[in-house]
């Protein structure tokens, strides 16, 4: 296939060292919500001018640091991006996955959900926030996998959460 493309592009596209596609886990996604009369309202943050994804509405997320577990990254990013600690944090039992052709790499992104109790205090990465119902939130998210995971989070909240997916839950928060 690469040789076929090279006929059209005028360049050789095969990897010279014979490597296979790289698979990486570099970041996490966190679907933050609050419960209003038992229904989830999802928190989306608008990316500020001058940062990556400027102007896009996104969930909480960030890079995993060396030596940090994915769930620890989720907690750190929640605090950095909202100024809060969640009342509960749980694993969404699925991954966000996408392929970056520029780097020939598959990204696997652990997904978490976090119940918050207050409005966020935004950091400099964001210039606005909104609490939205499932349909409004899905409409603002630009990527199909993010939309799918938000819908899965909403479905799990409606059906009830099995205890094995909880990272922690604070009753007094």
H/E segment holding residue 65: none
| Per-residue pLDDT band at 172 (split at 50, 70, 90) | low
User: pLDDT value at position 5?
Assistant: 47
Residue 103 CB neighbour total at 10 angstroms: 11
Over range 119-138, report the average pLDDT: 97
Tens-place pLDDT, residues 139-155: 999 999 999 999 999 99
CB-CB contact of 5 with 13 (8 Å): yes
What domains appear along the chain, each with residue ranges and CATH number? 21-169 (3.90.79.10)
- Quickly state the pLDDT bin for 11 (edges 50, 70, 90): low
Instruction: Give residue-wise pLDDT tens across range 153-165.
Output: 999 999 999 999 9
pLDDT tens track for 26-35: 999 999 999 9
DSSP H or E segment with residue 9? helix 2-9
SS3 content of the chain, % helix, strand, coil (to 5): 25, 35, 35
Residue 43 contacts residue 33 (beta carbons within 8 Å): yes
């Amino acid at each position: 296939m690469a040789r076929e493309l090279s006929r059209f592009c005028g360049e050789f596209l095969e990897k010279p060292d014979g490597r296979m596609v790289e698979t990486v886990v570099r970041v996490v996604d966190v679907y933050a919500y609050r419960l209003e009369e038992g229904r989830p309202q999802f928190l989306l943050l608008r990316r500020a001018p001058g940062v990556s994804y400027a102007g896009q509405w996104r969930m909480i997320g960030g890079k995993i640091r060396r030596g940090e577990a994915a769930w620890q990254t989720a907690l750190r990013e929640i605090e950095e991006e909202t100024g809060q600690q969640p009342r509960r944090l749980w694993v969404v039992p699925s991954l966000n996955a996408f392929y970056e052709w520029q780097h020939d790499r598959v990204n696997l992104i652990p997904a978490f959900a976090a119940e918050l109790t207050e409005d966020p205090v935004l950091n400099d990465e964001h210039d606005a926030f909104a609490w939205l119902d499932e349909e409004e939130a899905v409409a603002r998210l630009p990527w199909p996998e993010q939309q799918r995971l938000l819908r899965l989070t909403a479905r799990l909240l409606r059906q009830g959460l099995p205890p094995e997916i909880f990272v922690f839950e604070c009753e007094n928060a």
